[in-house]
């Protein structure tokens, strides 16, 4: 259960700075792994299906690719997530309008839907922040999974996420209870490190 060395997971520079320079395929895959989750989760709050949400994720990613060079990367002026949120919200709004037009919905229903949309926007920042925290944790967890290997991750998943007892997990592995406790604390520390690394990369 040896872990990968930490240097494997360190980043040369901000992901966003690399993307502004039209980053390579690995940079864009990293962007999708982190922010694609955020965009997808946000879309689901607008009664959009999983398939439709995936389409919107791709549409937003294309827009980011086209316009990232114009983004003024200056944390003191506002984080990248605010810029991304504007693109995502506009894309969702445009998609809902197109869907309404295709369905030729009655005018009174359109008005009702727009009123509900306005109500949602009142809580927009809260939704966006909640989905960001979820996406951040999931992305960090996936990185840690690759870092520690499947065997260690399964132990952590069963003991922490599935809430199985250390005794039950120990009975089906080569580890004793103390080793399982150690796995939990080590993986949790790695998750905190990965969360911090992602945030520092913004």
Tell me the C-alpha distance between 120 and 114, whole Å.
Answer: 10
Q: Give the span between the Cα atoms of 117 and 122, in whole angstroms.
A: 9
pLDDT digits (tens, 9 = 90+) for 63-98: 998 888 777 766 555 578 888 999 999 999 989 888
Contacts of 136 (CB under 8 A, 6+ apart): 34, 195, 198, 199
Q: Could you tell me the pLDDT band of residue 158, with boundaries at 50, 70 and 90?
A: very high
Query: From CA 105, how far away is CA 24, in angstroms rounded?
Result: 43
Which pLDDT score is estimated for 35?
A: 93
The residues, ordered by sequence, that sit 6+ positions from 193 with a Cβ below 8 Å of its Cβ are 6
Q: What pLDDT score was predicted for residue 8?
A: 35
Model's pTM, two decimal places?
0.72
pLDDT of 201 reads: 73
Residue 152, number of CB atoms within 10 A of its CB: 20
- The top-scoring range by mean pLDDT among 1-5, 82-86, 104-108, 136-140 is 136-140
What mean pLDDT do residues 14-25 have?
75
Tokens of 124: 């927009």
DSSP assignment of 127-168 = HHHHHHHHHHHHHHHHHHHHHH-HHHHHHHIIIIIS---HHH
Please give the pLDDT value at position 21: 74
147-166 mean pLDDT: 95
pLDDT for position 116: 56
């Amino acid at each position: 259960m040896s872990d990968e060395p930490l240097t494997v997971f360190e980043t040369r520079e901000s992901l966003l700075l690399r993307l502004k320079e039209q980053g390579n395929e690995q940079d864009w895959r990293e962007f999708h792994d982190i922010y694609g989750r955020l965009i997808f989760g946000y879309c689901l709050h607008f009664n959009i299906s999983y398939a439709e949400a995936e389409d919107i994720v791709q549409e937003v990613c294309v827009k980011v690719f086209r316009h990232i060079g114009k983004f003024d990367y200056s944390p003191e002026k506002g984080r990248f997530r605010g810029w991304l949120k504007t693109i995502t919200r506009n894309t969702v709004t445009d998609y809902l309008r197109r869907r309404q037009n295709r369905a030729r919905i009655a005018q009174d229903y359109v008005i009702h839907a727009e009123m509900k949309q306005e109500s949602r926007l009142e809580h927009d920042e809260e939704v966006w922040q909640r989905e960001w925290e979820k996406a951040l944790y999931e992305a960090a967890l996936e990185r840690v999974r690759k870092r520690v290997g499947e065997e260690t991750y399964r132990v952590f998943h069963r003991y922490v996420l599935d809430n199985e007892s250390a005794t039950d997990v120990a009975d089906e592995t080569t580890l004793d209870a103390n080793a399982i406790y150690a796995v939990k604390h080590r993986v949790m520390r790695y998750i905190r490190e990965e969360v911090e690394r992602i945030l520092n990369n913004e």
